[in-house]
C-alpha cells in the first residue's frame, strides 16, 4: 500500500519475500543501498531528465519562432523558409543525439561527492531545475536567440546584397539554408554551456549531428533535379561559394551564446549554487591528486630512467608499466558496488574507518562510539547467529558465561554496556532481553 501510494516505490528483496519488490519501481538488495539510490542516482536522474525536457522546449521554440517570424514577413501566406525535408528531420536526426546524451550521461559531481555532501539533494526537493522560473529562463533564451538569428540573417541576406562574385542576390532557399545552418550550430553550442561533464560521447553527439547536416546538403543536392527540386546543387554551387555564409556561421551563433554565457558566469561567481561549490572542491582534489602523482613520478624517475637505459627500453614503456602496477594496487581497487562508508559523511558519522576492523569480528566495522546495539548486531549477524548452527560467544553471555543469580536459572546475565555510550534504560532492557533470547 505504501509503495503504491508513494511517488516512487523502493522495495527491498529479502527473506520476507518479493511482494514489495514486485510492487515497487526500484528494487534493492540491502537497506544501505537506499542512500546511493537517492543521493547519487536519484539526483543525477532528476537533473538529467529536467535538463533534457527543458532543452527540448528550448530548441523547438527556437526553431518555431524562426518559421513563424518569416511567415509574418511573407504576409502570413504559409510560405516556408526551409525545405520540407530538412525541416522534418530537425528533431529526428539533426538534433536527436544531444538530448539523449544529456538525459543519460550528464553528471555535475562524482559519486563520492554526492554521498559526502547531502545538501545537493535539496535541489531536487526544491525543484530547482524544473520549476516555473527555470522553464521561463529557457523559453526566454530561445526567444532572444531567435531574434538575433532573424535580425542578422535577414538583414545580411537582403535583396540589395550579392552573395557571389557574379553579382547574384540572395534567394529565398539560399537564405533558408543559411538560417538553418546557423540554427543547428547555435543549438549545439547551447549544449556546451549546460554540460557538466565531457566525455567522448558528448563530443560525438555534438560534432556528428552538425556533420550530418552538411552531409545531408551534399547528398541531397546531388540527387536528380526531379527529386532534389529546390536543393539541387544549392549548397555546392551557391551557398558554399558565398563568403557571407561562412561569416554568419561564425559570428551569429557566438552572438547568440554571449548573453547566456555572461549570465551563467556571473551567477557562478556572485551567487553560486551548491553543486558549483562542490565542483570547485572536486576540481581542487583532482588537481592535488595529479600533483601528488606527478611528484611520485619525478621521485621515481631517476631509478626508472637508469633501469630503462640499462635495459635499452623506452620511457613510455616504463610509464606503461607504472600504470599496470597501479591497476593492481589494492589502495585503488574498487571493493564493491556500494563504496565503503566514509568517516566524513553526514550519513555515517558513527563509522571510524571502512578498513579498520575489530580483531576477531569477522568483518564487523570498528566504531568510535562503541554503540552497544551495533556491537550485538555485528556479533549476532557475523559470528554468533544461532540460525547458522554457531554457538554464542562470551560477548553475548556477559563475559564469563556463568550465571550470577540475577536472572532465571541457566540464563545469561545482561550484556555489558560500554562506558561513555549514550544508552537509556529502555535500550538497556531491550539488549538484556535480546541477549537472553539468543542463548
Q: Name the residue with cell 554571449.
A: 258
Tens-place pLDDT, residues 200-211: 999 999 999 999
Tens-place pLDDT, residues 300-332: 554 454 444 444 444 444 444 443 334 334 444
Is the pLDDT at 158 greater than 80? The verdict is no
Residue 417 pLDDT level (bands cut at 50, 70, 90): very low
pLDDT at 25: 85
Percentage of residues in the chain having pLDDT higher than 90 = 28
Tens-place pLDDT, residues 7-43: 888 888 876 667 778 888 888 888 888 889 999 999 9
Q: What is the mean pLDDT of the chain?
A: 74
**DSSP H or E stretch at residue 143:** helix 132-156
- Which of 33-37, 54-58, 229-233, 386-390 holds the top average pLDDT? 54-58
pLDDT at 170: 78
Secondary structure (3-state) at 363: coil
User: Distances from the Cα of 132 to the Cαs of 146, 233, 274, 286, 312, in angstroms?
Assistant: 21, 46, 20, 36, 66
pLDDT at 364: 43
Is the pLDDT at 360 greater than 80? The verdict is no
Is the pLDDT at 380 greater than 80? The verdict is no
| Residue 23 in grid coordinates | 510492487
In whole angstroms, what is the distance from residue 108 CA to residue 102 CA? 11
Tens-place pLDDT, residues 160-209: 676 666 667 778 888 889 999 999 999 999 999 998 888 899 999 999 99
In whole angstroms, what is the distance from residue 400 CA to residue 125 CA? 52
In whole angstroms, what is the distance from residue 372 CA to residue 230 CA? 82
Maximum separation of any 2 CA atoms in the chain, in Å: 113
Q: Which of 210, 218, 270 is nearest to 239 (CA)?
A: 218
Torsion of CA 310, 315, 321, 323, to 10 degrees: 150
In whole angstroms, what is the distance from residue 33 CA to residue 48 CA? 21
Q: CA 413, 418, 419, 424 torsion: positive or negative?
A: negative
Is the pLDDT at 404 greater than 60? The verdict is no
Q: Are the C-beta atoms of residues 149 and 67 closer than 8 Å to each other? A: no
pLDDT at 431: 61
Q: Name the residue with cell 537533473.
A: 47
Is the pLDDT at 255 greater than 90? The verdict is yes
User: Distances from the Cα of 176 to the Cαs of 82, 153, 234, 354, 378, in angstroms?
Assistant: 5, 9, 11, 62, 71
Amino acid at each position: 500500500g505504501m509503495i503504491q501510494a508513494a511517488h516512487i516505490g523502493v522495495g527491498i528483496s529479502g527473506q520476507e519475500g518479493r511482494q514489495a519488490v514486485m510492487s515497487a519501481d526500484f528494487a534493492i538488495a540491502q537497506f544501505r543501498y537506499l542512500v546511493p539510490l537517492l543521493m547519487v542516482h536519484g539526483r543525477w536522474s532528476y537533473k538529467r531528465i529536467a535538463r533534457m525536457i527543458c532543452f527540448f522546449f528550448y530548441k523547438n521554440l527556437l526553431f518555431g519562432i524562426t518559421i513563424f517570424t518569416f511567415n509574418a514577413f511573407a504576409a502570413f501566406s504559409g510560405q516556408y523558409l526551409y525545405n520540407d525535408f530538412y525541416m522534418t528531420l530537425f528533431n529526428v536526426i539533426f538534433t536527436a543525439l544531444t538530448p539523449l546524451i544529456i538525459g543519460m550521461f550528464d553528471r555535475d559531481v562524482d559519486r563520492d561527492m554526492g554521498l559526502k555532501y547531502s545538501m545537493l539533494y535539496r535541489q531536487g526537493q526544491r525543484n530547482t531545475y524544473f520549476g516555473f522560473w527555470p522553464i521561463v529562463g529557457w523559453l526566454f533564451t530561445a526567444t532572444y536567440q531567435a531574434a538575433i538569428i532573424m535580425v542578422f540573417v535577414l538583414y545580411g541576406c537582403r535583396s540589395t546584397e550579392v552573395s557571389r562574385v557574379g553579382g547574384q542576390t540572395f534567394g529565398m532557399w539560399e537564405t533558408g539554408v543559411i538560417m538553418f545552418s546557423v540554427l543547428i550550430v547555435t543549438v549545439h553550442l547551447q549544449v556546451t554551456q549546460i554540460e557538466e561533464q565531457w566525455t567522448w560521447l558528448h563530443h560525438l553527439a555534438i560534432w556528428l549531428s552538425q556533420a550530418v547536416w552538411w552531409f545531408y546538403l551534399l547528398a541531397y543536392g546531388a540527387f536528380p533535379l526531379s527529386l532534389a527540386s529546390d536543393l539541387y546543387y544549392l549548397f555546392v554551387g551557391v551557398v558554399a561559394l558565398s563568403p557571407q555564409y561562412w561569416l554568419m556561421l561564425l559570428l551569429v551563433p557566438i552572438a547568440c551564446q554571449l548573453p547566456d554565457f555572461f549570465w551563467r558566469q556571473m551567477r557562478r561567481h556572485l551567487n553560486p549554487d551548491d553543486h558549483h561549490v562542490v565542483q570547485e572542491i572536486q576540481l581542487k582534489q583532482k588537481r592535488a591528486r595529479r600533483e601528488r602523482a606527478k611528484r611520485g613520478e619525478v621521485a621515481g624517475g631517476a631509478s626508472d630512467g637508469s633501469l630503462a637505459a640499462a635495459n635499452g627500453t623506452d620511457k613510455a614503456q616504463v610509464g606503461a608499466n607504472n600504470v599496470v602496477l597501479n591497476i593492481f594496487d589494492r589502495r585503488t581497487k574498487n571493493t564493491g558496488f556500494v563504496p565503503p562508508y566514509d568517516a566524513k559523511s553526514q550519513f555515517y558519522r558513527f563509522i571510524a574507518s571502512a578498513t579498520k576492523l575489530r580483531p576477531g569480528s569477522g568483518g564487523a566495522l570498528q566504531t568510535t562510539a562503541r554503540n552497544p546495539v551495533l556491537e550485538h548486531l555485528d556479533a549476532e549477524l557475523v559470528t554468533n547467529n544461532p540460525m547458522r548452527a554457531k554457538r554464542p560467544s562470551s560477548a553475548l553471555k556477559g563475559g564469563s558465561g556463568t550465571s550470577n543469580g540475577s536472572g532465571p536459572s541457566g540464563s545469561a546475565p545482561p550484556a555489558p554496556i560500554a562506558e561513555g555510550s549514550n544508552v537509556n534504560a529502555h535500550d538497556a532492557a531491550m539488549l538484556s532481553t535480546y541477549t537472553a533470547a539468543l542463548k
